[in-house]
Amino acid sequence: MIDWITKKTFVFLLIINLSACSVIGELWYERIDTFIANQFLEYADFSSAQEDHIRKAAKEFKQWNLENELPKYKALLIRLQSLDAQTGVADIEVIYQAGLQLNDETINFFRPFLIEFCKDLTNKQVTEIGIHLNEMLTKRRARLAKGNNTYQEDLKKSFVRIFRLLRVKLNDEQKDTIRLLSSELVDTRSESIVIREVWNREFAMILALRNQGDFEQRLTSHLNTFGSEEADTRAVINEISANIIASLDEKQRTNFQKRLGVFETSIDQILAKNLSL
């Protein structure tokens, strides 16, 4: 219900979603409303009327996103594509803020729907939502306990994976840069789970009081606190991103630019097909 409209830790995570667009193109975007609705429907046993309302909101989002946001995503990709050997942290911060703005616009689109939808939940559905949120955290905690990697190692793997999606294989020196610059970061993964656990409990309590006069204000305020990020972590990730992009060799940079060009072409194809209807 809320996880798919949260803020991202850093802007390059948008590449993961855009890569799906480039792989299966128009088919992926044609089904984005179905994907969103199905994610929402996992939270509780909703009635047929509620499901219809959810699917209608998802279709409206798809049209809004097509007309208003996809061109902005393309502009962001072009800005990414233009980064060169002189790339600095300030360049990454500009792109990050632009990506964050796009994400905030998505949150703002869904917020009125979410507030109105929650007003008509049954007590049973509120309980089911709470259970689903707890189950998600249990899985997250289990993945963390199962993993043997340090926070820095997991961060390195994330960068390697993201750049691999961009057809860039990071070399040993670039991987060492990730380790070095992230060495002072504190591992807050367990703490973030606890914070989210508290947030979930408060969210369930607010839903339980949905018939009170201040419900809309309380829910809005609570949603605004979701997905807050640590400034120190963001600064380090932006510094790592800037260093890696500045250090790309000729082959890496060519692949980087070509891959982003594929994403841009995919967006152009989606826009051309859908806006001409």
| Residue corresponding to tokens 């949260």 | 6
What is the SS3 assignment for 185? coil
Angle between helices 250-275 and 70-81 (to 10 degrees): 160
Per-residue confidence (pLDDT) for residue 1, from 0 to 100: 60
What percentage of the chain reaches a pLDDT higher than 90?
Answer: 62
Q: What is the pTM of this model?
A: 0.86
Domain boundaries, the chain: 3-275
85 pLDDT exceeds 70? yes
pLDDT digits (tens, 9 = 90+) for 147-166: 888 889 999 999 999 899 89
The whole-number average pLDDT for the span 252-265 is 93
pLDDT, residue 60, reads 96
Indicate whether 173 pLDDT > 80: yes
Nearest-angstrom CA–CA distance, 259 and 18: 11
Structure confidence at residue 43 (pLDDT): 96
pLDDT of residue 117 exceeding 50, the answer is yes
Cβ partners under 8 Å of residue 98, min gap 6? 11, 72, 75, 76, 79
Q: State the pLDDT at residue 6.
A: 46
Q: What mean pLDDT comes out for the span 130-144? A: 93
Q: Which helix (H) or strand (E) holds 61?
A: helix 48-64
Handedness of CA 26, 27, 31, 36 (dihedral sign): negative
Residues 227, 6: Cα–Cα separation, whole Å: 6
Nearest to 268 by CA among 96, 99, 66, 83: 66
Binned at pLDDT 50, 70 and 90, residue 263 comes out as: confident
pLDDT band at 218 (very low <50, low <70, confident <90, very high): very high
For the stretch 12-58, pLDDT in tens is 445 445 544 444 456 677 888 998 999 999 999 999 999 999 999 99
Is the pLDDT higher at 211 or at 3? 211
Q: Which two tokens stand for residue 248?
A: 């790309």
What was the pLDDT predicted at 22? 47
Select from 232, 76, 253 the least CA-distant residue to 174.
Answer: 253
- Tell me the pLDDT band of 232, cut-offs 50, 70 and 90: confident
Residue 175 has pLDDT above 90, yes or no: yes
Statement: residue 266 has pLDDT above 90: no
2: pLDDT strictly greater than 80: no
**Position with higher pLDDT, 135 vs 3:** 135
Quote the mean pLDDT of the chain.
87
